[in-house]
Chains A and B, each alone.
Chain A
Amino acid sequence: EVQLVESGGGLVLPGGSLRLSCAASGFTFSDYAINWVRQAPGKGLEWVAYISSDGYRKYYADSVKGRFTISRDNAKNSLFLEMNSLRVEDTAVYYCARDRCSRAACYNLAYWGQGTLITVSS
């Protein structure tokens, strides 16, 4: 069974930093691209970042570019999101979401974690 479990969420001050993790199981992690998608309270879905299966290609939403860094450790079946210079508007549930296709990504998201809440507030 495919499982994605996010962790690392919590309350952080504006300007602060946080590192999210996503632990994967039930599939060959190194074969799949993974994304971070967020959802502010009561709002819609916003794509945040993408990393290819081998970790070499990364893309970011303009709203987080230069502040967030996506990375992965294929040996440990783990995905990360380093978040710096956090803003109030970054408050959201953050989901990791696995691509539907193996090897060559197809950019639609077939498996999602349960999400972790980040609250940026003073």
Chain B
Amino acid sequence: DIQMTQSPSTLSAFVGDRVTITCRASESIDTWLAWYQQKPGKAPKLLIYKASSLQSGVPSRFSGSGSGTEFTLTINSLQPDDFATFYCQQYQSFPLTFGGGTKVEIK
């Protein structure tokens, strides 16, 4: 199985900050990576697919990059609505696997 490791597990930031979250795969997954945002008590929301493609309706301050084993999710100018937990997910092969999550908190 492909293991996904996210860092950091928690991140504190101010509104307006630029935030970067890293996701590493245990083997190459090309660009078969998605990012999700989850708020407490809610279902996850797809933000990015194929490592860097923005899902329809997602603000352009979210961006993704990377290939192979190392990926990043960047949020430019963090907004109050962005405080949440973010997960990466590989879909190179089954079983589909998620990273452990990164909680973005208000500083």
Chain A interface (Cβ < 8 Å from any Cβ of B): 35, 37, 44-47, 50, 59-62, 95, 97, 100, 106-110, 112-115
Contact = CB atoms under 8 A, between A and B. Distances in A.
Most buried by A among B1, B36, B43, B97: B43
Interface string B73-101: 00000000000000101010011111111
B46 interface: yes
Nearest to B45: A112
Contact of B98 (A44, A59, A107, A110): A44
A59 B101 contact: no
B43 A107 contact: no
A112 B44 CA distance: 7
Contact of A108 (B49, B99, B101): B49
7 contacts: A45-B87, A45-B98, A47-B96, A59-B94, A100-B49, A106-B49, A114-B43
B49 A45 contact: no
B2 to A, nearest CB: 11
Contact of B46 (A37, A62, A109, A113): A109
Nearest to B38: A45
Contacts of A100: 46, 49, 55
